[in-house]
A and B are shown apart, each in its own frame.
Chain A
């Protein structure tokens, strides 16, 4: 299976609610990154958290990393319809390119 696996595969919430997505991975990492993709085209980098960091914030985004459990979570607070997209975690082991998970499709209902 892939290095990064997101959970859930799909998530539907109402505008204003929080959205939480989880990512699990298998091997040691240098950093873990979260990306967003609209309409199946280019990905946009959201946030990078290094292996020695436990939590990071960027605007309405909060990312946590638990290296002992090999897991990360992405929290989007006060979601908006414009947050509707697919979200991917990606792990950097330093040996090759990033390894992406299969993504979580988030639908925010207005």
Chain B
């Protein structure tokens, strides 16, 4: 079946503008994750959804960042008043839980490369 998709693949925006990034997880995956990755760096956790609720928002770097998930499927990550330091690749991943509650491997989308000028 289809993998995780993200849109747009690239986004260039001016400092101060708002941006919305979209993630379509694999059908049936209840868990959805957002990460960001700066050039040459590891992944920085942003937020985790289980269904439509977000039990862990601890990675959001500031109140300019927010995310929502509706219908247990699509998620949008919104960055308000973008700053140059927000430039990075934003990666989305999804996974499902086994019957005993253990999470399995994560499947990643191709990412959105955000450039703030």
Contacts and interface: CB of A to CB of B under 8 A. Distances in A.
Nearest to B58: A96
Contacts of A98: 33, 45, 106
A28 interface: no
A52 to B, nearest CB: 12
Interface residue tally on A, bucketed by range: 20 to 34
Which one of B33, B42, B89, B103 has the greatest number of beta carbons of chain A within 10 Å? B42
B96 interface: no
A41 B33 contact: no
Contact of B56 (A31, A33, A96, A100): A96
A110 B39 CA distance: 26
A102 interface: yes
Interface string B42-83: 110100100000011011000000000000000000000000
Given A40-B37, A97-B56, A99-B45, A45 B110 contact: no
A95 B40 CA distance: 27
Nearest to A4: B42
A81 interface: no
Contacts of B2: none
B84 to A, nearest CB: 19
A42 B91 contact: yes
Contacts of A2: 42
B48 A41 contact: no
Nearest to A40: B89
Which one of A41, A45, A94 has the greatest number of beta carbons of chain B within 10 Å? A41
Given A41-B89, A90-B43, A97-B59, 4 more contacts: A40-B40, A41-B110, A44-B108, A96-B58
9 A-B pairs with least C-beta separation = A102-B42, A100-B43, A45-B105, A42-B108, A97-B48, A96-B56, A43-B108, A42-B110, A97-B33
